[in-house]
Amino acid sequence: MASILFVEDDPAARTALELALTRQGHGVTSRATGEDGLAALRARRPEIAILDVMLPGIDGIEVCRRIRRDDLCGGGALPVILLTARGDDLDVVLGLEAGADDYVVKPVEPRVLDARIRAVLRRADHTLVDRSVYGDLVIDRTSLKVTKAGTDLRLTPTELRLLLELARRPGQALTRQHLLAEVWEHTYPGDSRLVDACVQRVRAKIEDEPAEPRLIETVRGFGYRFAAP
């Protein structure tokens, strides 16, 4: 069960989802605006944040961006799920670029949202035993820490899970569908943009030159490959 910050401006939708998630055993703190959501996050860090994209004032994408940028209450690693309007691909892309871990299309089916919450939290709890060194990049699977030149990198649970999955099979090309299933537990091919956006975020953190990646290589028309140690 998770402690959830839920930000949704529509009173009916907010009440219905808060009730449904509470019935699933989660502890829900709900707010109606992005500003109030950020204030709640500063007061107490939840285990996951669920943000409607279309919020008055500061929208959900900007809230996500500030969570990642300002590291509110350790929010740099806080899992974030966005609620987006059906067919609004631009919001999805912008949200993923802002650092969201997943998205759910409205109208939201509570059971689907609950499943996505549990999947995201499993990424945060995922542990493996091993340690790999790639130049000045060290991936410690026991402590679930990644360092570069001795500095801890702030990776979200999804970014960490993606990096671990790629690094677990060095030199092997992995399809977007494989990564989508293993990291996000999705099967719909249209969600492959989750993979591409997350790869870009991870590259920005681990590569010396993200525009010319040497660790996470693109296999055109297929997926990605992690360089051998």
Q: Are 166 and 123 in contact (CB under 8 A)?
A: no
pTM tops 0.85, yes or no: no
Q: pLDDT exceeding 70 applies to what percent of the chain?
A: 93
Domains of the chain (ranges; CATH) run 3-126 (3.40.50.2300), 131-226 (1.10.10.10)
pLDDT at residue 12 above 50? yes
- Pull the structure tokens for residue 197: 């956006």
**Phi and psi angles of residue 49, each rounded to the nearest 5 degrees, phi first:** -115, 135
- Asked which of 1-5, 88-92, 133-137 is least confident by mean pLDDT, the reply is 88-92
pLDDT at residue 137 above 70? yes
Q: Are 67 and 44 in contact (CB under 8 A)?
A: no
Output the pLDDT for position 92.
87
pLDDT at residue 129 above 50? no
Tens digits of residue pLDDT in 38-85: 999 988 889 899 999 999 999 999 999 999 887 655 555 789 999 998
Output the pLDDT for position 229.
61
Residues ≥6 apart with Cβ < 8 Å to 49? 4, 5, 6, 7, 37, 41, 63, 64, 67, 75, 78, 79, 80, 81
